[in-house]
Structure 1
Amino acid sequence: MVLSVLLRFIYPPPSNMFVTAMSVISLVSMGNAGIMELKGKHMQYSKLWNFGVDQKNPADKKAKISGKTGMIIAYTPAFLAGVTSFVLVPVGNFRFDLLRSAITIHFFKRILEVLFVHKFSSWMDTEAATAISLSYFINSASMIYSHHLIQGLPEPQTDLKYVGSLLFLVGISGNFYHHYLLSKLRTKGDKSYKIPQGGLFSLVICPHYLFEIIGFLGISCISQTLYPFCFTLGTALYLMGRSCATRQWYQSKFEDFPTHVKVLIPYVF
């Protein structure tokens, strides 16, 4: 019964062990990363990097690179995976073209933000940059590949690709807007942190993560295959954990942090 309802909205999963395994791995690994964030074991970048670490006894002496360089390394392979898909498979149906276009635009936007919007004040663990880069590349390539496998199959009874396109546009726009607001908190040469203002920052501490989840949900609805939904759910779990850690960080740094500001979802969580 549940399966029959589910198949109204997604294509039947392809009989491909790689895609099946990657669906499980993506969901479990991203969910686990969210749990690690809650436990204080943060990804080695941004302001959370040294949160809770004894600065007199550093946890490691691994190689570091600038945050800007690290983020370029993280996003570029996934962007190239999207671009390359148009070369390797030049002819695809409309849904497939929408999917790989959305993935390509998503990571191209991230690269542009790194170059022209974000302001970086911290270093990044080289291993973390490599791991994030590999993760984004594998997940992007897997989304494209898993959808390529179902081309030619009958469409799901409920067509979500236009709803997905709208969600993607809302997500990418809202994410960019709140990243822009974050970038305006600092003037040139200023490395201090401030409580974010404007947009949905008056309601949640991480609206940029909320819109990132909405964007990936849009990509999932465009594709309507199992793998992107698993990746989106895993991403949501990770960003929930990171958002909780971010709120804890702000509370530790600012005594006047507003108590009514939620973590990720206005008025709810």
Structure 2
Amino acid sequence: MIPLWLRFIFPPPSSLFVTAMCVICVASASSGYSEIRGKHLQYSKFVNSQKIARKEIKLASRTGMLIWYIPAFLAGVASFALFPDEGFRFFLVRSAIAIHFFKRIFEVLFVHKYSGGMLLDSVILVSLGYFISITTMIYAQHLTGGVPDPPLDLKYIGVVLFFVGIGGNFYHHFILSKLREKGGDKGYKIPKGGLFDMIICPHYLFEILGFLGISFISQTVYAFSFTIGSTFYLMGRSYATRKWYLSKFENFPKEVRALIPYVF
């Protein structure tokens, strides 16, 4: 009898590198706890929440975010040339990765409005994290070549989840951008509209759905490990974001949760 988990996931590859990266991804879930404790990655509203040493280099947010996303996007695009003709599932995985990071770059250039900056060490850490994670995800998928698909095929459900995720994420980023329609307006406001009336970070919720969609398309242990690590980090970040809004706005509605309506 096939174990339950092997009914929807490819068998773990023999690659020591991929196995180690799976462990690292799951262990990175602790970064969510760091966010809850107040030890934040220095970007967005949290750049000014901690004392910054004079020697630390600060970048413009637009520049920092482009450094985050461009290497991972290029890795996704390059995979089409490096691993041609490796099946429809692999094509979907690579396409989802490329679309995901193209959307992010598009938002950086044409949607987001910026108020602060980013510390260079945080920018480098996130950029390397994305690039290594994406290249590992692509390599792990390559290693499934010749291996029979899991009995439960989740890739089409994954495609639906992925597009719901990136669509919802874009929509709520667009709402956030409209809070600063005036060019010189760099202050923060309580967002309204969409799911912002129920949770303060709906863009994170849909980002998680997008990553879950990629995991369902991929069905590799590494893809699910990456999603687990990302989910716990975004849970911690959303909790810290709600706490920040509560501290800055006396009229912040207490019934608005962090990430999951009515629950968290």
With normalisation by structure 2, the TM-score equals: 0.97
On the 8 A contact 2:133/2:226 being kept in 1, the answer is yes
Q: 1:50: Cα distance to partner? A: 2.2
Q: Match for residue 192 of structure 1?
A: 187
Aligned residue type for 2:45: K
Aligned residue type for 2:154: L
In the alignment, structure 1 residue 18 sits paired with structure 2 residue 17: yes
- Whole-Å Cα distance in 2 between the matches of residues 60 and 196 of structure 1? 33
In the alignment, structure 1 residue 144 sits paired with structure 2 residue 138: yes
- Whole-Å Cα distance in 2 between the matches of residues 10 and 96 of structure 1? 14
- Whole-Å Cα distance in 1 between the matches of residues 34 and 183 of structure 2? 33
Q: 2:120 aligns with which of 120, 126, 129?
A: 126
- Whole-Å Cα distance in 1 between the matches of residues 253 and 53 of structure 2? 32
Q: Match for residue 81 of structure 2?
A: 87
Q: 1:90: Cα distance to partner? A: 1.8
Aligned partner of residue 169 in structure 2, secondary structure: helix
Q: 1:48: Cα distance to partner? A: 1.5
Q: 1:91: Cα distance to partner? A: 1.3
Q: 1:64: Cα distance to partner? A: 1.0
Q: 1:209: Cα distance to partner? A: 0.1
Q: Match for residue 46 of structure 1?
A: 44
Aligned partner of residue 184 in structure 1, secondary structure: helix
- Deviation string for 1:111-166 (max 9, x for gaps)? 00000000111111111111111000000011110010011211101000000000
Q: Match for residue 33 of structure 1?
A: 31
Aligned partner of residue 21 in structure 2, secondary structure: helix
Q: Match for residue 239 of structure 2?
A: 244
With normalisation by structure 1, the TM-score equals: 0.96
Aligned residue type for 2:47: W
- Whole-Å Cα distance in 1 between the matches of residues 142 and 217 of structure 2? 13
Map 1:66-81 onto structure 2 (within 5 A): 66-81=60-75
In the alignment, structure 1 residue 262 sits paired with structure 2 residue 229: no
In the alignment, structure 1 residue 216 sits paired with structure 2 residue 200: no
What residue ranges of structure 2 are gaps of 5+ in the alignment?
Answer: none
Aligned pairs, how many?
263
Aligned partner of residue 150 in structure 1, secondary structure: coil
On the 8 A contact 2:25/2:228 being kept in 1, the answer is no
Aligned partner of residue 47 in structure 1, secondary structure: helix
On the 8 A contact 2:73/2:102 being kept in 1, the answer is yes
Q: Match for residue 160 of structure 2?
A: 166
Q: 1:61: Cα distance to partner? A: 3.2
Q: Match for residue 201 of structure 1?
A: 196
On the 8 A contact 2:35/2:236 being kept in 1, the answer is yes
Map 1:98-113 onto structure 2 (within 5 A): 98-113=92-107
On the 8 A contact 2:9/2:150 being kept in 1, the answer is yes
- Whole-Å Cα distance in 2 between the matches of residues 24 and 155 of structure 1? 23
On the 8 A contact 2:113/2:177 being kept in 1, the answer is yes
Aligned partner of residue 91 in structure 1, secondary structure: coil
Aligned residue type for 1:101: S
On the 8 A contact 2:71/2:131 being kept in 1, the answer is yes
Q: 1:60: Cα distance to partner? A: 4.9
- Residues 26/60 of structure 1: CA separation in 2 closer, same or farther (3 Å cut): farther
Q: 1:180 aligns with which of 160, 174, 191?
A: 174
- Stretches (4+) displaced over 4 A: none
On the 8 A contact 2:158/2:212 being kept in 1, the answer is yes
- Whole-Å Cα distance in 1 between the matches of residues 7 and 118 of structure 2? 44
- Whole-Å Cα distance in 1 between the matches of residues 117 and 149 of structure 2? 46
Aligned partner of residue 7 in structure 2, secondary structure: coil
